[in-house]
Amino acid sequence: MVDHVAAGRSDPSGWLALAVDGPALDLPGLVTGTPIRVVPDVPSFVTLLEEARPRIVLLGTPPGGPAETEVVARERRRRSGLRVVQVSGPEAMEVRLEALRLGFDEAVPSSIAPGELAARLALLDERARSRPGRTLPVAAGFELDLFAHELRRDGRLIHLRPKEFDLLAVLASQPGRAWTRRQLLDRAWGHGHDGDPRTIDVHVRWLRSKLETEPAQPAHLVTVRGFGYRLDPPRR
């Protein structure tokens, strides 16, 4: 069953496959408890890859080609929790090897039995979910992913400037610790940086506007009067 998907619809917790034939078409009937979207066209696939943030991505080539392989590999590098697999014709060994060189987790021939493909994807999913955690809670519903260099709220990406991320990572590394502006500047900007420590105040305001329900009365990124700032994340 091929799922024709309208652009912009998302299923952030499932699997995504690009395929017009082969074993991927059987996945929705073989895997229970996991939403699986199988789309036949490249534009819908790329839209969902970028917006839906699936856990598992299966790229069939064809209809995918070198451009789509690069897009998927780039997304794999960007998101530590993503796992990607390429499926190509039995004779396309070089295509599969190139996918592996680019960072795909697996590359298999289209002659693979649908049941084995489903089992391999489920194993990848299980391993990805059980990997040692490198996410830190920073506010209600917010997690900082140190591997992917991302801030997410309930699974949705929140844009941070590079130094916003660096500053938040320092604060989150020792929750409850009070830091002086100078200490934060040295950690996030680098020792020897001769900038004004008050730049920390500007970045804290930006962060509060994204993290706090009431930025004027912060519950997590709080001011320690006469000293600096600390981060009080919610308990896990």
pLDDT in tens, 89-130: 999 999 999 999 888 999 999 999 999 999 999 988 887 765
Total tally of structural domains belonging to the chain: 2
Question: Using a CB cutoff of 8 Å and minimum separation of 24, what contacts does 32-40 make?
Answer: 34/122, 34/125, 35/11, 37/3, 37/5, 37/11, 38/1, 38/2, 38/3, 39/2, 39/3, 39/4, 39/5, 40/2, 40/4
Q: What is the mean pLDDT of residues 39-44?
A: 94
Residue with the larger pLDDT of the pair 6 and 150: 150
Which range is least confidently modeled, 21-30, 75-84, 177-186? 75-84
Range of the domain at 39: 15-129
Same domain, 199 and 219: yes
Same domain, 86 and 157: no
Q: Which H or E element spans position 138?
A: strand 135-139
pLDDT at 6: 34
Looking at 129, 162, 192, the residue that finishes a domain is 129
pTM of the predicted model, to two decimals? 0.55
Same domain, 108 and 163: no
Residue with the larger pLDDT of the pair 217 and 135: 217
Mean pLDDT of the chain: 86
